[in-house]
Chains A and B, each alone.
Chain A
Amino acid sequence: MMDPKELIARRVALELRDRTLVNLGIGLPTLVARYVPPGISVAFQSENGIIGLGAPPPHGMEDPNLTDAGGGFISALPGAASFDSATSFALIRGGHLAMTVLGGLQVDAAGRLANWMVPGKLVPGMGGAMDLVTGARRVIVAMQHVARGEPKIVRELTLPPTAARPVSLVVTEMAVIEPTGRGLLLRERAPGVSVEAIVAATGADLLVPEEVPEMPVAPARPGAEPADPG
């Protein structure tokens, strides 16, 4: 069986569209850059001020003025552009960002995402997450279906929401779920995973169509240089 994170990343990669601007969050979403389908050219943004970030440079070639949003050294691809933080968030809020992929702590029946704090436990700050969820044309949540035995897809958020707006798609290692005006629609199931297992691992009601196809995934690219945008 495929590693759950790899499965999620390879399914999310199929949402990438040619010649669009994409922002990947830190953590699991970063893996998506490794599986950009052949024939598709995507520009990755890092919100600290660059479009066209590339893989980490060879050892000893790091530039202290060229990093990703996690502070890691990166390279820049030919055609890259750098800019200040107001421009970076104008791209995000102004409808210029086709898609963002973010991790999640919870998604509720209305499609709302919570991913920036756990009251009393973890208060890292929202960073750019609230702007990304508010402003990106499509918001994809890439997360594990269950955390410590508890469903992460719930009837109503118990954690503070990141934005009022519903996300566009939730991709887990079990299923692809689309928030709609009528509720959460089960669109696809992971290879070997039954609809019953998905329903049992989900804390909110799912709209289950008669036919739930198995999720396709982007091809693995062995040997491909991972363009890790942080």
Chain B
Amino acid sequence: MHLAISAVDAARLIPDGASLMFGGFMGVGTPERVVDALVARKARGLTIIGNDTARSGIGVGKLIDAGCVARVMASHIGTNPVTQAKMIAGEIAVELIPQGTLAERIRAGGSGLGGILTPTGIGTVVQDGKRVIEVNGRRFLLELPLRADFALLHAHEADYEGNLTYRLTATNFNPLMALAADCVIAEPNEIVPTGAIPPDAVRTPGILVNHLVERPQ
């Protein structure tokens, strides 16, 4: 049985300087209540790992606005001028990673793999400093696994065991990140009784989830 915690308690679990994987694509599928609580507790020095930094005032964009973030690992920051301005000002370090490579590095991190070989990035700046490995006459980049201290997920439903479902394009990186962090905190839209989610519908087994964030009362 999981004990649901408040978003405020979730934010207290996360120390300054922690690395956080955030589900979400332009804020869709991002746990907004946990984001708001991190902003409210004035978190500092966070590393955030995710597809993008959404927009100012949306999703993890709120963490950028509030000065909570020291480092970003993402595929795209073009939609958030605040991230770009803080990067140029030297306040935030940004590492850009091709989107498919980011997904596979997180998958590798959660799956016990030593890395992945991808053709993406060969012949580009992404190749700089990386090992190139030839397999069957084709060249691949060795990309290393990625893990974080916390994974902060948005889910559609959770049951009392922490089994999770996702909805449509709010799925994105969430099920991958559920395997790739030391502590997994999921913020579902609904918490339903154990047994209400058919086994085939479960996308993230509850055993991976450490904490559920309760709905606002």
> Residues of A with Cβ closer than 8 Å to B?
46-50, 63-71, 76, 82-86, 88-89, 92-93, 122-131, 134-135, 160-165
Contacts and interface: CB of A to CB of B under 8 A. Distances in A.
Contacts of B78: 122, 124-125, 127
Interface of B: 25-29, 51-52, 54-55, 74-79, 84, 87, 96, 98-104, 106-107, 118-126, 156, 166-176, 203
A-side interface mostly: loop
Nearest to A161: B124
Residue among A46, A68, A93, A161 with most chain B CB within 10 A? A93
A130 B120 CA distance: 6
A124 B72 CA distance: 13
B176 A65 contact: no
A160 B121 CA distance: 11
Given A50-B169, A160-B124, A93 B118 contact: yes
Closest CB pairs A-B (n = 6): A124-B78, A164-B123, A89-B100, A71-B26, A131-B100, A125-B76
A127 B76 contact: yes
Given A66-B169, A85-B172, A131-B98, A71 B121 contact: no
B124 A49 contact: no
25 contacts: A65-B29, A65-B167, A65-B168, A71-B26, A71-B55, A76-B168, A82-B171, A84-B173, A85-B173, A86-B107, A123-B96, A124-B77, A125-B76, A126-B76, A126-B126, A127-B76, A127-B98, A130-B98, A131-B98, A131-B100, A134-B119, A134-B120, A134-B121, A163-B122, A163-B124
A214 to B, nearest CB: 35
A50 B168 CA distance: 7
A71 B167 CA distance: 15
| Residue of B27, B99, B119, B126 ringed by the most chain A CB atoms within 10 A | B99
Among A46, A47, A84, A130, residue most surrounded by chain B Cβ atoms (within 10 Å): A130
Contacts of B118: 93
Contacts of B169: 46, 48-50, 65-68, 82
Nearest to A53: B169
Contacts of B168: 49-50, 63, 65-66, 76, 82
A89 B75 contact: no
Given A126-B96, A134-B119, A89 B28 contact: no
A67 B28 contact: yes
Given A85-B100, A160-B125, A161-B124, 6 more contacts: A71-B54, A71-B55, A85-B25, A85-B102, A93-B120, A130-B121
